[in-house]
Structure formats: C-alpha cells, structure tokens
Amino acid sequence: MDAMLNIAVRAARQAGRIAVRSYERGGDLRVNEKGRNDFVSEVDRACEAAIVGELRGKFPNHAILAEESGGSKGRDGSDEFQWIIDPLDGTTNYLHGFPQWSISIGLRYRGLMEQAVVYDPLREELFTASRGRGAMLNDRRLRVSDRRGLEGALIGTGIPFRDQSHLTAYLSMLAAMVRDTAGIRRPGSAALDFAYVAAGRLDGFWELGLSPWDFAAGALLVAEAGGTVTDLAGGDRFFETCNLVAGGLKVHRAMIERLKPFRAGDLAA
C-alpha cells in the first residue's frame, strides 16, 4: 500500500506541473461545457491523461473512475482496486485565475478507501492519508479541530450550481447554519475543503450533489485526521447519496442536528 500511495503522489505532482504551466493562460485555454455550469478544459484532460498513464503503467489490473474519462476495469477485468480521480477539482476557479483548485486521487479497495492524495500545487501543500495510519500535510500529522459545537465554528460548504433541484432546501440549510457560527466559506474546491477540515482550518463542511471524485480522497483525509464523514442522515451511505457532512465529532453532530429539519424527499437519506 505504501508503494501505491507513493505512485499516487508522483501522479498528482506530475498533473500539478501541467496545471501550473497553463494557469496564467486561463482565457486562452480550449474549454467545453459538459453541462449547465460544468466546464472541462484541455488542462483537465491533460492532467487526467498524465495521472491515468502513471497509474495504468504501475497497476494495469486496477480499475479507474475518473471525472473526464469515466470508469474502466483493470486489464484483467478486475475492479477490486479502484482509483478515483479528479484531475482538476475547481475548474471554474482555475479558468478565472482564482487560486483555489487541486488534484485529488483516492484508492478504494473492496469498497473501502485506502489511500488519499489531495495536492495544491500553487501552495505546494500535499495532503495524504492511508487507512489506519493517519493523515499528513507535507511532513506534519493532521488533526481535526477540537471545537465543541457550532458556536464560533468556521464551516465550509458548496453551493449547488449544476443540479439546482435542491437549491431551496440548501438555502434553508445555509440560513440555519449561519446562526451561531463564525461564518460560512465557499472556496470552490471540495477536495481542498475536506483537506482543510482534516487540517483544522475548517471546523466542518457540508455539500449536496457531489460526485465520488470530489470527495473520495478528502473523506479519507478527514477520517484519518480523527474526524467524521457521513451522509445527511449521519449514516455511511455518502458514496450512494453524494450528500456529505464532515467535521470533528462534536461539530459534525451539531451540524447533523442543525440540518435535520431540511431533510425531505431525496435528501432524507
């Protein structure tokens, strides 16, 4: 497993170099709109190709789930090991020159996250985690904040900008969460939001309608830093619902209670 993490770090750094080289060219990049408010650039594709090439070269029998190219099984048809990749999390930020974006790579084995890398090449911050062995930022061990509740807490979120079917419920959640907290932040890279929870920079985080590549690595970072990651109901079905709440134990518990009145219909789980 250590070898797998090392290869993932190498792949993330390679993608980071590609992204940084093109960062100042934002307005000149070729960009396509995949869907409403959902963009992909030539840099997303180049970063993904570099990551997939590195992983396929070392682990040809591993399955891959990547944002731009989708899912594929290993050469032998196996999907026991699955790499989950977001080659450029925060593409809209990237295209606008807003310096909050990252590369996210996670490894899932038989349904459990085992390895995680979230890399911010602009700040040279490398967040890593291995199941049962803790989370790190560069050479420093991470720990979630020990805040005892929402009072004075700094909470991260993501505003539904693609699928807005739950926008009304989300805005009610936002209004409820603003009460008592020190503030709400929406930086625009979910992978970094989870990493910041793991590092204690954010006390908690919630978002609706994510994709697995947005949170796979980040969820393991939070868990290995002593935090909790669940679905809106406080359960472990977040890979199915893609609605997540994360934080230290007490902040997470308080967030679940604060969000509870707004869980209905598709958000009940």
Report pLDDT digits (tens) over 95-137: 889 999 999 999 999 999 999 999 999 999 999 999 999 999 9
Helices (H) and strands (E) in the chain, counts: 8, 15
pLDDT at 175: 96
Contact (Cβ atoms closer than 8 angstroms) between residue 256 and residue 149 = no
Predicted local confidence at residue 69, as pLDDT = 84
Top pLDDT among 120 and 44 is at: 120
pLDDT band at 37 (very low <50, low <70, confident <90, very high): very low
**pLDDT, position 266:** 80
Calculate mean pLDDT across residues 253-258: 98
Taking residues 176-203, report their average pLDDT: 97
Question: What was the pLDDT predicted at 42?
Answer: 85
Q: For the residues 171-183, what does the mean pLDDT come to?
A: 96
CA nearest to 40, candidates 88, 101, 105: 88
CA dihedral of 72, 73, 76, 78, whole degrees rounded to 10: 180
pLDDT of amino acid 1:
63
Q: Which among 228, 226, 195, 194 is positioned nearest to 210, based on CA atoms?
A: 194
Q: Is the pLDDT of residue 33 over 70?
A: no
* Confidence band of 157 (pLDDT split at 50, 70, 90): very high
pLDDT higher than 90, residue 34: no
- For the residues 228-239, what does the mean pLDDT come to? 97
Q: Which residues contact 260 (CB under 8 A, 6 or more apart)?
A: none
Look at residues 2, 12, 187 and name the one whose alpha carbon lies nearest to residue 84: 12
